[in-house]
């Protein structure tokens, strides 16, 4: 079906290398040359039953996954061109959506000098935080663009996992944590899956972000928290989290102050800073329902979750 869709737009279709598979059999990413242009083609067809050891497919989960590809397609169609002046993202070449199928033809960023890196230094982390600060500043106080609530782990999108959670104080206060995040008056749009694997770098450490299936409303520190979980173990968090969070806030202040007063920018940062422990507790809640022995669960996450519980106990 992929080639049938592509042939409607392109005449010269060349496969360049074997494809990589999307999450749990939902499709593939193919590097191709279409009419002489090097591209990456993200072709998604969500199966009726996901092949994942931790997920028993439900209609709710199926609908969530289907919508995620539609949200990403809309992001590239409606947001990416203007956003590229502030944050590097792949350029849209062509897009098709039909029923349960989406096809995204994007510029192949490897030909623009970007590549993914496994071993990241402090400088790499700072550049990702720079990218996130610009991204969050660009979308500040905007809502209803992507998902009503961005991210793949928030409470409203994970009822199956919440049901499976063992009873605990964290489960008791889960709705309170979700409300604190969602009701924060300073919403922006978040990447929604800001793990290290979704960023690429060029030789000058310029960052490009991609994979926007969970783009939607939220607060910027949700992305920062998720990025930290993808690059640091407990020791790394204890050593780096506070320092890099302050670095992110300093860059955010600079970017917000371009369009907002310094006072307004400071108010946003103060509000988000006060919810740092809450975003960790919210993600911990998801992990406990999804895979309670997940390697990302560590002392720092538990410690922040305890701080969040103290906050809601009053």
| Range 275-282 average pLDDT | 98
| Range 257-267 average pLDDT | 96
Q: Could you tell me what percent of the chain has a pLDDT over 70?
A: 94
Domain residue limits, the chain: 2-111, 115-313
More confident residue, 172 or 64: 172
The pLDDT value given to residue 51: 59
| Range 47-61 average pLDDT | 66
Of 44-58, 75-89, 131-145, 235-249, the one with minimum mean pLDDT is 44-58
CA 249, 255, 260, 261 dihedral sign is positive
| Range 184-209 average pLDDT | 97
Of 50-59, 116-125, 139-148, 243-252, the one with minimum mean pLDDT is 50-59
Closest to 90 in 3D by CA, of 27, 143, 37: 37
pLDDT of 52 > 60? The answer is no
* pLDDT class of 138 with cuts at 50, 70, 90: very high
Contacts 24+ apart (CB under 8 A), 170-174: 170/281, 170/284, 170/285, 170/288, 170/305, 170/309, 171/285, 171/288, 173/281, 173/308, 173/309, 173/312, 174/282, 174/285
Location of structure tokens 């106990």:
313
The pLDDT value given to residue 286: 97
Average pLDDT of the residues of the chain: 93
H helices of 25-110, in order, are 59-78, 80-83
Q: Could you tell me what percent of the chain has a pLDDT over 90?
A: 82
Looking at CATH, the fold of the domain delimited by 2-111 is given as Phosphorylase Kinase; domain 1 (3.30.200)
| Cα 310 versus chain centre, distance | 28
The pLDDT value given to residue 3: 82
Contacts 24+ apart (CB under 8 A), 31-37: 31/108, 32/6, 34/6, 34/9, 34/10, 34/93, 34/105, 35/10, 35/11, 36/12, 37/93, 37/107
Greatest CA separation for the chain: 65
The pLDDT value given to residue 24: 58
Of 21-30, 51-60, 304-313, the one with minimum mean pLDDT is 51-60
Tens of pLDDT, residue by residue over 1-34, are: 888 899 899 999 998 876 666 655 677 899 999 9
Closest to 149 in 3D by CA, of 182, 173, 186: 182
| Spatial distance between the Cα atoms of 208 and 202, rounded to a whole number of angstroms | 8
Is-same-fold flag (2-111; 115-313)?
no
Cβ atoms 32, 16 nearer than 8 A: yes
Location of structure tokens 């720092």:
300
Q: Which residues of 11-46 are buried (b: 16+ CB within 10 A; e: fewer)?
A: eeeeeeeebeebebebbbbbbbebeeebbbbbbbbb
Contacts 24+ apart (CB under 8 A), 307-311: 307/277, 308/173, 308/177, 308/277, 308/278, 308/280, 308/281, 309/169, 309/170, 309/173, 309/281, 311/277, 311/278
Closest to 155 in 3D by CA, of 126, 135, 179: 179
pLDDT of 53 > 70? The answer is no
Q: Tell me: domain 115-313, CATH 3.90.1200.10, correct?
A: yes
Tens of pLDDT, residue by residue over 199-248, are: 999 999 999 999 999 999 999 999 999 999 999 999 999 999 999 999 99
């Amino acid at each position: 079906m992929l080639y049938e869709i592509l042939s409607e737009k392109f005449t010269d279709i060349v496969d360049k290398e074997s494809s990589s598979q999307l999450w749990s059999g939902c499709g593939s990413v193919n590097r191709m040359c279409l009419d002489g242009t090097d591209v990456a083609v993200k072709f998604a067809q969500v199966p009726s039953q996901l092949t994942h050891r931790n997920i028993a497919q439900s209609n709710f989960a199926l609908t969530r996954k289907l919508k995620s590809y539609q949200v990403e397609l809309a992001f590239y169609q409606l947001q990416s061109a203007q956003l590229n002046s502030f944050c590097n993202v792949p350029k849209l070449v062509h897009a098709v959506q039909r029923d349960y199928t989406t096809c995204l033809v994007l510029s192949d960023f490897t030909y623009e000098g970007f590549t993914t890196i496994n071993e990241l230094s402090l400088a790499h982390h700072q550049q990702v935080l720079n990218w996130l600060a610009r991204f969050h500043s660009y979308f500040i106080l905007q809502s209803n663009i992507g998902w009503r609530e961005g991210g793949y782990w928030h409470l409203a999108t994970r009822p199956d996992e919440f049901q499976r959670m063992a009873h605990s104080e964290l489960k008791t206060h889960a709705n309170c944590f979700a409300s604190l995040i969602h009701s924060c008056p300073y919403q922006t749009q978040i990447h929604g899956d800001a793990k290290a694997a979704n960023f690429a770098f060029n030789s000058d450490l310029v960052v490009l972000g991609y994979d926007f299936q969970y783009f939607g409303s939220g607060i910027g520190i949700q992305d920062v928290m998720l990025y930290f979980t993808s690059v640091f173990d407990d020791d790394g968090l204890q050593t780096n989290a506070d320092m890099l969070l302050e670095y992110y806030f300093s860059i955010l202040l600079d970017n917000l102050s371009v369009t907002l007063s310094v006072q307004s920018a400071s108010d946003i940062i103060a509000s988000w800073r006060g919810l740092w422990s809450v975003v960790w507790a919210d993600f911990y809640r998801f992990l406990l329902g999804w895979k309670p022995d997940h390697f990302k669960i560590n002392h720092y996450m538990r410690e922040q979750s305890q701080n969040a519980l103290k906050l809601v106990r009053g």
